Amino acid sequence: ATGGRCSVQLEWDRSKGDAPLLGYRIHVFRHTTLSDEVVPLKPPWAELVMVKGVAALESDGDPCAPVSHTLTNLGLGLAYSFEVRAVNSSGTSKPSPTSEICRTPLSVPTACRGLVARQVGPGDVRISWQPPLMSGGVDIICYQVTVEAWSEGTSGEVRQVTVPASGQNSFWYRHVVTGLAPWIGYLFNVCAVNSVGSGEASASQWTRLEARAQEGHSFSSSELRLAEAICVT
C-alpha cells in the first residue's frame, strides 16, 4: 500500500477452449462495511483483451502455467472480491467462481493540502488547510499543528496544538494560533491523524509577524465611479 492506494495480485488457471484465447476480463466488487451486500464497481475495472492482452498474460510460453495480474489503485481499508471471464473470438465466458474477500490494509493519511498562514492580529496567525485526499481508509481523528519560531538564523520555540477534526467545515479547516511575538518568523506544519498514526506534514511558508496586523483596504463611496459607459443596440 502506497500513496493512499494499494494493489492486489490475482492468479487463476489458464482458460481452455476451441477458439484462440484473446485475453481476460476482470471484474472487481467492493463490499460495504455495513452489511454483506456486494456493490459492483464500474465494470470492467480492468480489461486485458485482444492480442496485446494475451502477450501480457503469457507466462514464459508455458500454456499450463497459471495467469497472474496485479490490480492497482484500490482503496485502503475496504473489502473486495473478484471474478474473471475469458475472452475469445466467440465471445466472453461465464464468470469464474468469486474469489474470497480481500481486505486492503489501513494506512496513515496523506498530506494536507493548501496550507496558508495569515497574520490576523499583533500576535495572532490564522492557518487554513484542506483535508488530505486519502484518509488512509479510516476517519481522521484530529490535526496536529506544529509552530516553530525562527530568529537571527536559529530555531527557537516549538509549540504543538491539536485541532479536532469534528465541528468544522469538512472542506476547509481553520485555527488561530495566539500569543506569538512580533518581528519573529514562524513556520507552521499540519498533519492529519487517524487510528493508524500521523500522516505526512504540510508546511507553510515562513511568516514574519509585524507589530501590527495589516488591515485589508476598504473603499469609500467616493472612490467608486463609472469612467465610461458604452451601449450597443
Report domain 113-211's class: mainly beta
The rounded distance, in Å, linking the Cα atoms of 43 and 103 is 20
Domains 5-104 and 113-211 share a fold: yes
What is the residue extent of each domain of the chain? 5-104, 113-211
Q: Which fold, 5-104?
A: Immunoglobulin-like (2.60.40)
Successive 10-residue mean pLDDT values, the chain, 233 residues: 72 79 82 61 47 39 73 82 84 88 88 94 93 89 93 73 89 93 91 94 87 46 37 36
CA 154 to each of CA 124, 173, 185, 208: distance values in angstroms, whole numbers, following the listed order? 22, 30, 11, 14
Could you give the maximum distance between any two Cα atoms of the chain, in Å?
87
Positive or negative, the CA dihedral 73, 77, 78, 82 is positive
pLDDT at 101: 86
Phi first, then psi: give them for residue 23, nearest 5 degrees.
165, -160
CA 61 to each of CA 22, 58, 67, 168, 180: distance values in angstroms, whole numbers, following the listed order? 15, 6, 11, 58, 69
pLDDT at 59: 44
45: its cell numbers: 475495472
Looking at the chain, how many residues does it have? 233
pLDDT at 3: 53
pLDDT at 4: 63
pLDDT at 49: 35
pLDDT at 69: 83
Q: Are 136 and 107 in contact (CB under 8 A)?
A: yes
